[in-house]
Structure 1
Amino acid sequence: MADEDDGGERSEDPTQKRLDDALERGDVAKSQEVNTWFMIAGATLVISNFSGSIGDIQTPLKNIIANSWMIRVDGPGLLMLMQNLEYVLFAALGLPILMLIIAAIAGNMLQHRLVWSAESLTPKFSKISPMEGAKRVFGKQALANFAKGLFKLIALGAVMTAILWPERHRLESMLRFDPSALLGVVVSLTLHLMGSVVAMLAVVAIADYFFQYRQWYERQKMSLREMKEEFKQSEGDPHIKGRIRQLRQQRMKKRMMAAVPKASVIITNPTHYSVALSYERGMPAPICVAKGVDLIALKIREIAGEHNIPIVENVPLARALYANVEIDEEIPVEHYHAVAEIIGYVMGLRRGLSGRR
């Protein structure tokens, strides 16, 4: 029952793995208004800086029309004419188009890094499902898009009215302008209008991005069951890890108990700690071959008694060795003196027993 309850509500913040998986699927926080703003801002920049070069197209086109009687109409002549037109158009429009492409890429990269995913092209039943379609039409996203579109329509209408209404008499008189003088007036008025639109759309783009990011983040939230499943996939099943840890401890315990008969001395306190040390002549320092507390400590003392291993009670030394030395490691330098006294005492006992025999 608890697992069923956990699987319902997505109330947990997404993990970094969840966010990375969403990015790989192509599911990213993206506002189309940010891309629109970059494109309009790029177009405004292009018009303000390259309107003169775009106007230079008139000269070669006029020359072609004025000298049309000289143009050869056979295959090579027409091919040469098309090549000349391509060069003219590329020289005038190449850099402006490149700037627009950069603006389109920058609008996406500002929101997320580039993503290559074919999952969005995969057919999905939800795309043709009437229920899912109703959710898209009447959902929160659709309501936000409607409000956003209505605001843009009203705001753009207000901006265009504020700019063009004072120029209405000038616009009427432009019908009598010379075509060569008309381009400068149109560019100036267009830049004024587009600059105001860019400023207005900046507010819309920022607000829409934060809204889209919040919607995307809410979609990535996880239920408790999903959190558990992800933890199992990334870290392993806790039950399996616990079983592995238990098996390792059992193997280590068996290895320790098998090493106790080879110990030189068991340092212990009467009730809790036992540390088995092994030392032979020529070794730089004694080595801990087994240690334990409570039941394991009692088992070490029992095995030591069965194999006549000396047991020395030293409460502070037993506690210190248990805390500071691991299995198959040499004892720390600060315990050399105390352990040397005990080893010397044990070896003295052995020599005495050997002499009596």
Structure 2
Amino acid sequence: MSDEAPEQSSKTEDPSQKKMQDAREKGDVAKSQEVTTWFMLLGSAIIFAGMAPATGANLTASLKVLMGNADQFEVGGAAFGNFFNGLALSLLGTVLAPLALLSFFAIAANLVQHPPLLSVEPITPKFSKVSPLAGFKRLFSSEALVNFVKGLVKIGIVGAVLFYVVWPERDRLDTMMTADPLIILADFHEIGIKIFAATLAVVTVIAGADFMYVRQKWWKKQMMTVQETRDEYKQMEGDPQVKGRIRQLRHDRARSRMMAAVPDATVVITNPTHYAVALKYDRSMGAPVCVAKGADAVALRIRALATENNVPIVENPPLARALFASVQLEDTIPNEHFKAVAEVIGFVMRLKDKGGWQAK
């Protein structure tokens, strides 16, 4: 108990949808045994109130025939087996409907508490289930103590209610010993209905309170620590460090491709060292395309590559700044910069045609 307290106190986060779904797949659901008891008691009350008279009448008729004609039944050989088979089928037909109704209520008791699920986790062999030490801990755990107290309280309340219902009928019960059997059955049926009604009223309150308790306890068990929340987020969304590394690798590859395009550029426009924009154009293209751009250290690298590969470098600070801010890689330049860029490219191409451009 003392070992569980610090762990539970650190669980401050509500359980995620994934955590609750994983718990359900393992068969870990909020299930109150008192709710199951209430449904079975309700089914029994319905059977007793509505079906008991008819069932009793059928059994009485069958037994009356049996007792009244006992001397006519053969008890030797195969006839003995046939006699008991017929009797068993008669009794089975009488009790089949009550059994079916109880089965229905047993299934309903589980369906109202949680959706249908199929899991082999609860029946999977585990050492902790057969470990004497683990069994000893469960026997003297807080949960076992709570269940023991709940059982005592339930027995005390139900016993008090039954006493309250039956005590006024004490004189009637005394007279039943000498009354006609049919009267006894009628009196027993009436008193039984009162007992069922009173018990159901009490168990309804107990089942409702126990379901809320079990549900709250299950919810607290599924709560998560801050670290568990982070780990689950990493598992579902990806580790932020890994994602950052992937972004960095993509950025590095994109920069490498960009730098590889500088030697084929037509001109590099600079500002003069803070910005650099490399443009490519030939007469088959509709407009110049930005193949590389960068600021500061990247701009210096673009200038160096342009110099190494004899790419013209033109210093035009206003145009360099404007292109750096408005054009993306692999995009054509905006319309508003056509005239300024055309003048620069025209100047460079005229120099190349005259053979007058040489990298410094």
Query: Could you tell me the TM-score, scaled by structure 1's length?
Result: 0.79
Please state how far the C-alpha of 1:350 moved relative to its aligned partner.
Answer: 4.7
The residue correspondences of 1:150-189 to structure 2 (distance < 5 A) are: 150-189=152-191
Q: Are positions 1:20 and 2:21 aligned together?
A: yes
Q: Secondary structure at the match of 2:11?
A: coil
Q: Work out the CA distance in 1 between the residues paired with 2:258 and 2:344.
A: 21
Q: Are positions 1:139 and 2:133 aligned together?
A: no
Q: Deviations over 1:52-107 (max 9, x none)?
A: 33222322332233233443445654454445345433433223212211222222
Q: Work out the CA distance in 2 between the residues paired with 1:300 and 1:156.
A: 89
Q: Secondary structure at the match of 2:28?
A: coil
Q: Are positions 1:36 and 2:37 aligned together?
A: yes
Q: Deviations over 1:266-307 (max 9, x none)?
A: 566666655545455565776554444443344334434544
Pick from 104, 116, 120: which aligns with 1:117? 120
Partner of 2:3: none
Comparing 7-16 and 54-63, the one that deviates more: 7-16
CA contact (8 A) 2:47 2:98 kept: yes
CA contact (8 A) 1:46 1:96 kept: yes
**CA RMSD after TM alignment:** 3.4
User: In the superposition, relative to structure 1, how do residues 173 and 279 fare at CA in structure 2: closer, same or farther (>3 Å)?
Assistant: farther
Q: Deviations over 1:142-163 (max 9, x none)?
A: 3322331222122112211221
CA contact (8 A) 2:267 2:345 kept: no
Q: Which runs of 5+ in 1 are unaligned?
A: 1-5
Please state how far the C-alpha of 1:258 moved relative to its aligned partner.
Answer: 0.8
Pick from 85, 90, 95: which aligns with 1:93? 95
Pick from 343, 348, 353: which aligns with 1:345? 343
Q: Are positions 1:320 and 2:320 aligned together?
A: no
Please state how far the C-alpha of 1:222 moved relative to its aligned partner.
Answer: 3.8
Partner of 1:299: 301
Q: Work out the CA distance in 1 between the residues paired with 2:273 and 2:349.
A: 29
Please state how far the C-alpha of 1:255 moved relative to its aligned partner.
Answer: 1.2
CA contact (8 A) 2:35 2:211 kept: yes
User: In the superposition, relative to structure 1, how do residues 165 and 8 fare at CA in structure 2: closer, same or farther (>3 Å)?
Assistant: closer
Q: Deviations over 1:1-54 (max 9, x none)?
A: xxxxx9896324343333333323323222211111111112112223322332
Q: Secondary structure at the match of 1:152?
A: helix
Q: Deviations over 1:167-205 (max 9, x none)?
A: 111222222332233333322221221122112112212
Give % identity: 37
Please state how far the C-alpha of 1:109 moved relative to its aligned partner.
Answer: 2.4
User: In the superposition, relative to structure 1, how do residues 276 and 352 fare at CA in structure 2: closer, same or farther (>3 Å)?
Assistant: closer
- Counterpart of 2:127 in structure 1: which amino acid? K
Q: Work out the CA distance in 2 between the residues paired with 1:337 and 1:164.
A: 98
User: In the superposition, relative to structure 1, how do residues 270 and 354 fare at CA in structure 2: closer, same or farther (>3 Å)?
Assistant: closer
Partner of 2:219: 217
- Counterpart of 2:141 in structure 1: which amino acid? G
CA contact (8 A) 1:276 1:288 kept: yes
- Counterpart of 1:19 in structure 2: which amino acid? M
Pick from 204, 207, 215: which aligns with 1:205? 207
Comparing 340-349 and 153-162, the one that deviates more: 340-349
User: In the superposition, relative to structure 1, how do residues 174 and 275 fare at CA in structure 2: closer, same or farther (>3 Å)?
Assistant: farther
Partner of 1:3: none
Please state how far the C-alpha of 1:206 moved relative to its aligned partner.
Answer: 1.9
Q: Work out the CA distance in 1 between the residues paired with 2:278 and 2:53.
A: 92
- Counterpart of 1:245 in structure 2: which amino acid? R
Q: Work out the CA distance in 1 between the residues paired with 2:75 and 2:230.
A: 76
Please state how far the C-alpha of 1:257 moved relative to its aligned partner.
Answer: 1.0
The residue correspondences of 1:223-238 to structure 2 (distance < 5 A) are: 223-238=225-240
Partner of 2:358: none
Q: Which of the two has higher C-alpha Rg? A: 2
Partner of 1:194: 196
Q: Are positions 1:308 and 2:311 aligned together?
A: yes
Number of corresponding residues: 343
Q: Secondary structure at the match of 1:57?
A: helix
CA contact (8 A) 1:42 1:103 kept: yes
User: In the superposition, relative to structure 1, how do residues 273 and 50 fare at CA in structure 2: closer, same or farther (>3 Å)?
Assistant: farther
Pick from 248, 255, 268: which aligns with 2:250? 248
The residue correspondences of 1:52-91 to structure 2 (distance < 5 A) are: 52-55=53-56, 56-73=58-75, 76-91=78-93
Q: Are positions 1:45 and 2:46 aligned together?
A: yes
Query: Could you tell me the TM-score, scaled by structure 2's length?
Result: 0.78
Please state how far the C-alpha of 1:124 moved relative to its aligned partner.
Answer: 2.4
